[in-house]
Structure 1
């Protein structure tokens, strides 16, 4: 090389390594501090281009010895990084104890393999995130607010030390609690508020004192190959979104205690794929706002109770949701859709300025295989017991509209659910079912417990489609496989279901404009179809095998013969 272009071997290595490390995250693992910054210097190498510099937190005074509080040193590295137009802040191998840390624009936080960023056990080491609203608490371990172009990456661990904050109390935001006396004074693991263009990948997030990862009013979010293990405290959510747009979640593994992927408010343009989930309460939890244009596919759900897919809407505009290629193993209440607020009863009888009607519509479920257990059981790795609500027993798929507010255009295609069975004749005779509840299982909370159907209970639905649906049980169940109550415009094609010698396979109550084709009764049933109510009309059964039903049709409670055309 000519003299004016010559560089030392070390300088050449550093120039070549920086972009490779920044892009791939390789080479940082276990790298000594001297390789990323000059000894005893708080500045990046002078020959690095803006945005590519490395900032090793040990060069800013962090010890990583599992004893020293390293908050100030890590924050100093982040501040220096963002001041110099961004770069990568490196948490090398070691155990770095710290309190509240603020990420800033242009910063990539790289947590190297064999590195653990460990939350302090002391409450005084945490603060509220600057600019982060206080809803559900805003005490936080790591946060960013009004920032852009942020990343958290690496195969290390961010550990909230959340067991240190366990006092037996949750936040009391569950059914009918409204947060009264709740425990909010504990840190969330990560909160991003009003941030744009950020990515989190490859990291292990664990042991939060509260929610694991809150993403609030953000745009353009990429979450890849993240593992969440969050089961040491109450309200241990996984991902928790509010009013966020353009979100893509792939290849994540979430085991938590509360909602695994809560989507509250106006979340839009969201995809979730190739992920696995397990929790006590719920996986995909929707509530309020304008949840629209969301697809969830290729996911595994196991050992999950409190309804894996739960759309519990107050005043909301929910539409265009797709759930496909999902395996559920050992769950209760596999799918639940309903309303939670009395304002929905007459569309706009509330005190808000928004007087437009609420709606839940255009929701599809396809290629789902599920096994439903009789009741929830405690997870062995959650150290506190979890109450079981009466309405969680002998659960089923629930589609529950309210009064004049119908669920619209709901489709279930290629669905096979194996239920535990064991439902009683007393449950099957249950006719008075509340419309509103703070949770799906609250609808069934009055004796006799559980829903009156073992497979699907649908009420106040317009536009219901069932195609290639199969409902079976492991032990005899006295309840109908399907109940349609005030359902209009339904198509049921290729239904296969086990019946009961104690009652009907299908029960239609004040339901009209229904076409059933290619139905198969899989085990003996006393009645194939029981139609109830004078409002029932235009029900056609065309083809199928109902030979295992003793009686093809029963008309009760004012239903008339001309309401049904039976051709099998």
Structure 2
């Protein structure tokens, strides 16, 4: 006779066995990632789904588009995209020629494909860009639509070897930055006016709902170029992007995105090449960045807004890219309040007298957040201005960026790095006495020239393995 007690014991034994197997597997995976974190990167890559589209094609010319560079094609593109998604998706084809247009809003299952000689010219008339839920320097708001925008979409792409031209310059979008190098002069309104940028930051600190943070006309906060907001399974491939008003490619709260073979050539203010923010499972590969700001900047929200959203950016993979001009090659921060982890950078070339650093982490005690597990290997660095690695917790402190949210930076590994000229330092790092920068490893790093080996303040455990700077082997620092 089988009693309830026997049944209970058997069920308990089965669940116990399952638990042991689960713990064993978890321990095994953890052991693999700790022993060789690059295997974890391989698992992330294998797990990212690829976009797939119907073989139907919707030529924008069939919907009234005119490729003369003068006629507005906003409605023609909108009709083509809506027809495509209504019929189950496919390719929205942009043939060779120049197409003037306002913002493009993409839909699920749509591949916006540019032929090789196609160029989309985006209008510089701010009135053509409606207010949408977006983000500006790590703070959510209602502002001008990005030039290309998708929200809550799945299986979306921008492909082809054509050009996306934001047409920004010092007579339109860039002048709003308030920078004298971008056409601004005293008396011209800009984002720096008292009722603009600082008001947005204050709203976020006070917890004003995003729907009530209404900006747009008269507030001079420039729109981003390409923003995928809360999207999944996205591809951007082969296009060239020039003359951006603001941040160039901005995955926001998005997952499973591949940016492949893209060229960014834009030297305007805040022209970061790619800014994954609150985003996970992002691959950036085979791209060229020549920018007015950071080439790639991984972010996770600014101050109170970042802590409200509380989504870290993680599993960000950068492969086979070329960084030319920029404030940093691969950067984390400064909008980093929700944290960043599991960043993998490999097989990149960074070289320009106008590239300030190769790898850069920037945060402060207003941002807070934890940045950890940053893995870099196989870099060829020609010339950078300041250093190979910068890790700072005092970014812009003298600009009023001090607070009560002490950040953490730890576990940074650079391996097989060849550098001709590092500028001032091999490593420039500073933390807090209560929260030092921890665990920096340089393995098989050769820096031919640097003014100084390092400058370290409140830094704990710096390990040099087979590392040479200025022809001398560098000894580890344990403390």
CA contact (8 A) 1:230 1:256 kept: yes
Cα deviation digits, residues 156-187 of structure 1 (max 9, x gap): 11111112525545378xxxxxx743684433
Deviations along 1:78-120, whole A, 9 cap, x unmatched?
Answer: 1111112211111011111001110011111011111111112
Residue number among 134, 137, 161 corresponding to 1:132 in the alignment: 134
In the TM superposition, 1:392-403 aligns within 5 A as 394-403=424-433
Residue by residue, what CA displacement relative to the aligned partner does 1:345-367 show, whole Å, maximum 9, x if unpaired? xxx983x7xxxx74222210111
By how many angstroms is 1:340 displaced?
2.8
Equivalent of 2:420 in 371, 375, 396: 371
Structure 2 gaps of 5+ residues are 1-49, 180-190, 198-218, 301-311
Using the TM superposition, give the Cα deviation of residue 126 of structure 1 relative to its aligned residue in structure 2, in angstroms.
Answer: 2.3
Correspondence for 1:479: none
Q: Deviations over 1:185-206 (max 9, x none)?
A: 4332211111111001111111
Within 5 A, what are the aligned runs for 1:314-353? Answer: 314=364, 315-332=368-385, 333-340=387-394, 350=404
Q: Secondary structure at the match of 1:455?
A: strand
Mapped pair 1:113 → 2:120: no
Who is 2:349 aligned against?
300
Residues 412-465 of structure 1 deviation map (CA, whole Å, 9 limit, x = unaligned): 1111113364xxxxxxxxxxxxxxxxxxxxxxxxxxxxxxxx111223233221
In structure 2, the CA distance between the partners of 1:91 and 1:24, relative to structure 1 (3 Å rule), is: farther
Q: Identify the residue that residue 496 of structure 1 maps to in structure 2.
A: 473
CA offset digits 1:386-407 (Å, max 9, x no partner): xxxxxxxx44421222112122
SS at match of 1:75: helix
Does the CA contact (< 8 Å) of 2:246 and 2:271 recur in 1?
A: yes
Are 2:176 and 2:221, in contact at CA under 8 Å, matched by a contact in 1?
no
Question: What is the distance in 1 between the residues matched to 2:355 and 2:250?
Answer: 22
* RMSD between superposed Cα atoms in Å: 2.8
Closer/same/farther in 2, CA of residues 212 and 336 from structure 1, 3 Å limit: same
8 Å CA contact retained: 2:71, 2:100: yes
Cα 1:84–1:167 change in 2 (3 A) is closer
Q: Which residue of 1 aligns with 2:76?
A: 73
* Deviation for aligned residue 1:65: 1.4
1:323-472 aligned at under 5 Å gives the runs: 323-332=376-385, 333-340=387-394, 350=404, 358-372=407-421, 394-419=424-449, 421=451, 454-472=452-470
Q: What is aligned with 2:280?
A: 245
Change (3 A) 1:458 1:420: closer
- CA distance in 2: counterparts of 1:259 and 1:149, whole angstroms: 28
Query: Partners in 2 of 1:349 and 1:202 — Cα distance?
Result: 42
SS at match of 2:433: coil
Change (3 A) 1:306 1:184: farther
- Of 157, 162, 166, 1:160 maps to 166
- Whether the 8 Å contact between 2:393 and 2:407 is mirrored in structure 1 is no
Separation of aligned partners in 2, 1:306 and 1:65:
40
Q: 1:317 to 1:250 in 2, by over 3 A?
A: same
Q: Distance in 1 between matches of 2:436 and 2:422?
A: 29
Residues 323 and 373 of structure 1: CA distance in aligned 2, closer, same or farther (over 3 Å): closer
Report the counterpart of residue 220 of structure 1 in structure 2: 256
C-alpha displacement of 1:302: 1.0
Q: For residue 275 of structure 1, what is the aligned residue in structure 2?
A: 321
1-side partners of 2:290 and 2:297: how far apart?
14
TM-score (normalizing by structure 1)? 0.60
If the length of structure 2 is used for normalisation, what is the TM-score? 0.71
Deviations 1:294-325 (A, max 9, x none): 11000001114332211112311111110111
Distance 1:206 1:302 in 2: 20
SS at match of 1:242: coil
Conserved 8 A contact 1:334-1:372: no
What is the distance in 2 between the residues matched to 1:162 and 1:414?
43
SS at 1:52's partner residue? coil
Deviation at 1:24, TM superposition (A): 12
CA contact (8 A) 1:81 1:88 kept: yes
Judge conservation of contact 1:150–1:198 (CA < 8 Å) in 2: yes
Q: Confirm whether residue 151 of structure 1 aligns to residue 157 of structure 2.
A: yes
Query: In structure 2, do the counterparts of structure 1 residues 366 and 91 end up closer, same or farther at CA, with 3 Å as the change threshold?
Result: same
Greater gyration radius:
1
* Deviation, structure 1 residue 373: 6.2
Greater RCO (CA < 8 Å, at least 6 residues apart): 2
Cα separation, 2, equivalents of 1:89 and 1:250: 24
> Contact 2:146–2:227 at 8 Å: present in 1 too?
yes
1:312 equivalent to 2:362? Answer: yes
Contact 2:461–2:478 (CA under 8 A) maintained in structure 1:
no
Question: How many equivalent residue pairs?
Answer: 367
In the alignment, structure 1 segments of 5+ residues that lack a partner are: 1-22, 26-49, 173-178, 375-393, 422-453, 474-494, 498-505, 514-568
Give the Cα–Cα distance (whole angstroms) in 2 for the partners of residues 512 and 270 of structure 1.
29
Partner Cα distance (1:364, 1:133) in 2: 31
Change (3 A) 1:301 1:365: same
The question of 1:100 aligning with 2:77 is answered no
